Structure 1
Amino acid sequence: MEVSTLPWLLLVSVALALCCTVAARPDSATASLDAATMAAQELDRVASLPGAPSYSYAFKHYSGYVTTDERLGKALFYWFFEAMEKPDDKPLVLWLNGGPGCSSVGFGQAQELGPFLVKKDVPELELNPCQPAVPGLSSGCWIFVHEHVLRNRSTGRQFHRWFQRFPQQKMKEFYIAGESYAGHYVPQLANVIVEENKKASKENYINFKGILIGNAYMDGDTDLQGIVDSAWHHAIISDTLYSAFLKSCDFSMEILSPECDAALSEFFLLYKLIDVYSLYTPYCDLGYPALNASSSANIGQTNGRFDLLKMPMGFDPCTQTYATEYLNRDDVQRALHANTTGLPYPYVLCRNTINDVWKDSDMTVVPIVKKLAEEGLRIWIFSGDTDGRIPTTSTRYTLKKLGLPIKEDWSPWFTHKQVGGWSVVYDGLTFVTVRGAGHMVPTSRPEQALELFKHFLANHNLPSKPF
């Protein structure tokens, strides 16, 4: 499932999956569309999806390419699910996975919060009972993206191209959400949209309302400091190694000392024994699929400072394998109107070669997040508290840098009778932990994630008492 008919390096962003709850839209909702627009939408409609449950045929979904730069051959691949209940009244949400260079079709849609999850043992699909678009709990329309670089000004224009394909979606409330390295993508893209909206015509204005990011890489030095401190508190590293970090590491420095590098090398070995992304879940005994040209990827400008050992898993550590097998099926790619030129290499969930051409990642987005808070956007940041790669500790250190006053201090929130996690409301930002969740919160704690997303979109505080 490739995202362009041209070679990979020409792409800026790919595989946008826009997910809404779905039901057939009344004719009146499309009556104002011109014939060419309606025809383009119909060409992208997914008539059937191999291995999908019969329930899936009750709603419309679309996927295909939107050209974003004719001269350079850049294209955006999207997968869009209409809303199951009252779709015209539902907001639109863009979901971004991290990497950099990873797929929200392969991760977000297939493993986390899309309408379909890939089944165990066989590469087919089942309905996701805890996705934000499930009937009766319908809360919004969701967007997922594959292998992307979402920070330059051309990216904002790419979304205008998608809205030109689906103009009936243009004036909906629009939110951007994601996890991991999307802690960079989401604020950066949000800032582009905010600035472009200030000078946009009515035709190009995006009804942008807020951002939601989880286990978010936002700041280089607090990220690494939090990783080390969290590992010590979780009894993963020894007192001796922890003392070596305290003595030799200044994580605010772009180039670390040789002594600090040596301590990190010893640290990395420990995460060959357990899953850094979900500290209390097992490895996949089926093995993991290759991640393009490398088995590890660096996060932005932290090159050499912390290698990602593999991509994250949830309570079933093999979901990555299931998704890769399914999305490499020829019949699936044909159904999704993907890889139309038959590129010779397989689809992978993360394409690490993006790091070979992308060298300008910012060390921090803290100033951008603070600016967005001042702009009045709705900002929620959540954190699965058993993630060792971007742990809650790192996020709390990063939020402290913002210097925002606390309006409602640390308190529990509930999912039914159980504590779902803890939250603190700052002036301009809400921080939420998800108890027992790893890096991919919707995979490891789907019910809590659904509660979180529903309340974010409704702009309501999470339940403060059992229910």
Structure 2
Amino acid sequence: MATWNWGFAIYVLLISVQYSLTLSDSGPIAQHKLDQVKDLPGQSFNVDFAHYAGYVTVNQESGRALFYWLTEAVEDPASKPLVLWLNGGPGCSSIAYGMAEEVGPFHVKKDGKSLYLNPYSWNNVANLLFLDSPVGVGYSYSNTSSDIFSNGDKRTAADSLEFLLNWIERFPEYKGRDFYITGESYAGHYVPQLSQAIVRHNKANAESPINLKGYMVGNALLDDYNDYIGRFEFMWASGMISDQTYKKLKEACSKDSLLHPSQQCVQITDIAYQELGNIDFYSIFTPPCTANGITKRLMRRWHNVGHIGQSYDPCTQQHSLVYFNLPEVQNALHVYQSNNTSRRWEICSDVVDMYWKDSPMSVLDVYHELISSGLRIWIYSGDTDGVIPVTSTRYSIDALNLTTISPWRAWYDDGQVGGRTQTYEGLTYVTVRGSGHEVPLHKPKQALTLIKSFLAGTSMAPFEQPIESKTSASEKVHDF
């Protein structure tokens, strides 16, 4: 049983008091101005957008407060939609992954002390809001220690809805603004569940300030059994396990094995791991990070996403670990500092993950409800992710029994195949070629193309034949 850190309890109590006093003295709109981030340590470049960070209390009685970071759109933010980004885990920080590695404008350099500007940030096309949810994740906290040990899907959705309602009071310019939710991995639960909560809230409250238009989620945990069998198939089809092992996995690991693994299933799974070798299962064709035993941890966690595979620097999460623990960084982001606690900021909370209370085996029923509500719904997959691979997601989409509107085809980016796509009645599926679990990290340019198409409601670009140059037949003979 984990031991509660009383220093941390003092820390969160002080921070709650500080924010309560601030809010009562100034009101939510004035707090908006106080949340503005003036300067970030290690930022050697100027930006043309405003950004804000701070806390929003979602439960006064227990003192639960969620940390957010908003980066306004680079150009004309008043005309741009609001896009929320959520990372999964459960227990992983959207600041660590979404902001500092993937879709945010501020990425952390290898030294862990300085930043560089991400030219493919999604705030090129939207106002981008990152949320650390639930409490116990990143900088988010609760004054009630038991809250950290009682997180689950239902409360996460409820608290995230409460966050949005309160946050918009602080930022009233976003009332009624087109709003979209995005995320990846275990956010395959968070994103549709929060969308469902908003849709139901809006039905009961005609004057709701949340104008939800749709959501998009990548390499998403959708249905445990489909994810299970799809993973085995992907491992075999990618040449990572033997024919014999694949056959035994299908025989020994039934649907019942998700809840009650048989001894045979455990044994053959161990053999499959051995056959995989020392790889980053979140990005099967890129070198793993071997620092601090990270590769071993990756291979052990089938569903819950801790570290996510990277492309050029597989140890990039370590840079964020350094940067977001710097006192000057926490001061700049309005995180309260206390000398009475040894608590470190974590990329992912093992405590939140370990004590997770409720997680349905499938969210496909939520998809059925939301498709009928008319939301724009997109799912995308990096096609070199082994944890929630293309095969798993395609099985889940197939289980929805949707009518195909536009059949499977390639889409293109700068004349090259960027991936494949298929449009169904109520849902669009897109794959991103050569990308692992974190699509915006591996393929940032293609990910920006993806969010542009999603927000515009247009399909991914088909191939356009280049205009043929006026070359003579004799010259063409030598063009080999």
TM-score (ref. length: structure 2): 0.83
Q: CA 1:339–1:278 in structure 2 vs 1: closer, same or farther (change >3 Å)?
A: farther
Question: Higher helix share goes to which structure?
Answer: 2
Contact 1:147 1:351 in 2 (8 A): no
> Secondary structure at 2:122's aligned position in 1?
coil
Alignment: residue pair count: 427
Contact 1:297 1:309 in 2 (8 A): no
> Secondary structure at 1:151's aligned position in 2?
helix
Distance 2:285 2:428 in 1: 27
What corresponds to 2:261 in structure 1?
256
Question: Does residue 330 of the first structure (1) align with residue 327 of the second (2)?
Answer: yes
> Secondary structure at 1:422's aligned position in 2?
strand
What corresponds to 2:372 in structure 1?
374
What corresponds to 2:401 in structure 1?
403
Deviations 1:323-366 (A, max 9, x none): 11111111101100114445421111100111333221110001
Distance 1:427 1:7 in 2: 49
Work out which of the residue numbers 243, 265, 270 in structure 1 matches 2:270. Answer: 265
Deviation at 1:151, TM superposition (A): 3.4
Q: CA 1:289–1:395 in structure 2 vs 1: closer, same or farther (change >3 Å)?
A: closer
Greater CA drift, 170-179 or 148-157: 148-157
Distance 1:298 1:241 in 2: 18
Q: CA 1:73–1:297 in structure 2 vs 1: closer, same or farther (change >3 Å)?
A: farther
Work out which of the residue numbers 141, 160, 173 in structure 2 matches 1:155. Answer: 160
Once the two structures are superposed, the pairs formed by residues 414-453 of structure 1 within 5 Å of their partners are 414-453=412-451
> Secondary structure at 1:67's aligned position in 2?
strand
Greater CA drift, 192-201 or 380-389: 192-201
> Secondary structure at 2:214's aligned position in 1?
strand
What corresponds to 2:31 in structure 1?
40
Give the gaps of 5 or more residues in structure 1. Answer: 12-33, 300-304
Question: Does residue 87 of the first structure (1) align with residue 77 of the second (2)?
Answer: yes
Distance 2:28 2:325 in 1: 30
Once the two structures are superposed, the pairs formed by residues 218-257 of structure 1 within 5 Å of their partners are 218-251=222-255, 253=257, 254-257=259-262
Work out which of the residue numbers 171, 187, 200 in structure 1 matches 2:205. Answer: 200
What corresponds to 2:309 in structure 1?
312
Contact 2:73 2:127 in 1 (8 A): yes
Distance 2:130 2:436 in 1: 20
Paired letter, 2:310: M
Distance 1:175 1:298 in 2: 33
Deviations 1:359-398 (A, max 9, x none): 2111000110121111110000000000000000000001
Q: CA 1:289–1:311 in structure 2 vs 1: closer, same or farther (change >3 Å)?
A: same
Look at both structures and tell me which one has the larger radius of gyration over its CA atoms. 2
Question: Does residue 100 of the first structure (1) align with residue 100 of the second (2)?
Answer: no
Distance 2:250 2:55 in 1: 50
Work out which of the residue numbers 108, 114, 118 in structure 2 matches 1:118. Answer: 108
What corresponds to 1:321 in structure 2?
318
Distance 1:295 1:339 in 2: 31
Distance 1:228 1:90 in 2: 42
Paired letter, 1:349: I
What corresponds to 1:140 in structure 2?
126
Deviations 1:134-167 (A, max 9, x none): xxxx311122222425533343122111111111
Deviations 1:15-47 (A, max 9, x none): xxxxxxxxxxxxxxxxxxx97444211211111
Distance 1:124 1:308 in 2: 26
Contact 1:93 1:143 in 2 (8 A): yes
What corresponds to 1:52 in structure 2?
43
